[in-house]
Chains A and B, each alone.
Chain A
Amino acid sequence: MASGSQSASEIVQHHLQHLTLTFGDGGFWTLHLDTLLFSWLTGLAFLGIFYAAARKATSGVPGMLQNIVEVFVEFADRSVADAFSGKRDFMGPLALTIFIWVLFWNLLDLLPVDWLPTLAAAMGIEYFRIVPSADLNATFGLSISVLLLIIFYGIKGKGAGGYAREWLTHPFGSHWALIPANILMNLVELIAKPVSLGMRLFGNLYAAEIIFILIALLPWWVQWIPGTAWAIFHILVIPLQAFLFMTLTIVYISLAYEKH
């Protein structure tokens, strides 16, 4: 809320500061404790719910929780099966984890932007951001993990030699003079994947968060109009971004995995 002593831009700036833990002289050696905390909380909520349902999973008539969990498991399984021809022992759980985890991250964006930071401030914590997907470290942590999996599955699907040959010969041809161009092209292609994955999710959620912060600057009696409109729009964005992240991960990995 707008308070007299701070300018609007100061408030926005304040909202965009992370709770950090710095090792040594900072820079890269810094941890965003709030991002880690909420990504763990949402992740543990996901694992807790799904584990509770899985432990009591019955082939008979499923309960409410099992039903919901089954919907998501089948959704992830089908999404993987549609694009990926290999075994789904790992890919299925991967897709499920990405979808639900990112979905929970994004859902945190719907909590009123001031609630938890205000609570944290009351406990003496000055900076507190609760949406992990509005932190580049979280989205890139995920997308770079996906990058590693892309390389791993590339080698697994084509063999180390086959994968290397693709790097040397793939887009332009197998002439020796084309090798540098091929490597460059593959490098760009490879890097573009995690960057686009991470940036897309981050951009959407970061922008949404800023809009919510701006809406929160309005007088209290008018906030609900743009707030509601933006939240309703955002409800579409939340699962869409989670779905996109999952689907693109599957597509990238299956592209790397399959022989051309």
Chain B
Amino acid sequence: MAINLTLIGQGITFFVFVLFTMKFVWPHVNRALAERQRKIAEGLSAAERSSRELELAKKQAEEELRKARLQASEIIEQANKTSADLIERAKLDARAKAERERAAVLAQLEQEINKARSELRKEVVALALAGAAKILEREVDAKAHQEMLERLAAQL
């Protein structure tokens, strides 16, 4: 159990080992560790950032959706109004047209009635003349009694 030269050999070996560790082991491992730490920190902050962005995008999308919905309802309302207008106008047009056509038909009827009436009148005059001629046994000179005849026809 004597202390001897081994002790010095051990001491030298120890320092050599420590220096080797210091030169070839420690810096590499520590660099890798630090690098990984940095990467993880970056990853975490990136994740946080993107989650915040996602939140923002969600809000934006909601806003857009709300706007779109509003717009759509506006458009529908507009369309409803337009269609009602159109129908209304069409109705009015149709009514006016019908009115016009009715008036035209009525006018024509009036015309025809008048025509028929005046013809009838002429025929009555003719008949009356014929009747009178028969009664008088002679020809009545229509020209001579023009004025009287016309007054008669107007009275009919």
Contacts and interface: CB of A to CB of B under 8 A. Distances in A.
A246 interface: no
Given A36-B9, A142-B11, A66 B17 contact: no
A69 B21 CA distance: 12
Contacts, number: 138
Interface string B27-49: 01111110110110000000000
Which label, helix, strand, loop or mixed, suits the secondary structure of the B interface? helix
A36 B26 contact: no
B39 A73 contact: no
A53 interface: yes
A31 B21 contact: no
A204 interface: no
B154 interface: no
Contact of B11 (A27, A93, A96, A145): A145
Contacts of B30: 73, 77, 92
A57 B29 contact: yes
B22 A90 contact: yes
Contacts of A110: none
Interface size bracket, A side: 35 or more
A30 interface: yes
Contacts of A43: 13, 17
Interface string A161-185: 0000000000000000000000000
B3 interface: yes
Contact of A35 (B10, B22, B29): B10
Contacts of B38: 59
Interface size bracket, B side: 20 to 34
A55 B28 contact: yes
Interface in A83-114: 89-90, 92-94, 96-97, 101
Given A54-B29, A57-B32, A58-B32, A32 B4 contact: yes
B26 A140 contact: no
Given A28-B3, A96-B21, A137-B7, A70 B39 contact: no
A57 B31 contact: yes
Nearest to B18: A97
B20 A136 contact: no
Interface stretch (A44-52, A236-244, A250-258): A44-52
Which label, helix, strand, loop or mixed, suits the secondary structure of the A interface? helix
Given A62-B32, A73-B29, A137-B10, A47 B4 contact: no
A11 interface: no
Which of B9, B22, B29 counts the most A-chain CB atoms under 10 A from its CB? Answer: B29
Contact of A51 (B5, B13, B22, B25): B25
B31 to A, nearest CB: 7
Given A31-B4, A57-B32, A58-B32, A93 B10 contact: no
B7 A70 contact: no
A74 B24 CA distance: 16
Contacts of A62: 32, 36
Contacts of A141: 6-11, 13-14
Top 5 closest A-B pairs, CB basis?
Answer: A141-B10, A59-B35, A137-B6, A54-B28, A93-B22
Interface of A: 23, 27-32, 35-36, 39-40, 43, 46-47, 50-51, 53-55, 57-60, 62, 66, 69-70, 73-74, 77, 89-90, 92-94, 96-97, 101, 132, 135-138, 140-142, 144-145
Interface of B: 1-11, 13-15, 17-22, 24-26, 28-33, 35-36, 38-39
Given A30-B6, A43-B17, A101-B17, 8 more contacts: A31-B6, A32-B4, A32-B6, A51-B24, A57-B31, A140-B3, A142-B10, A145-B15
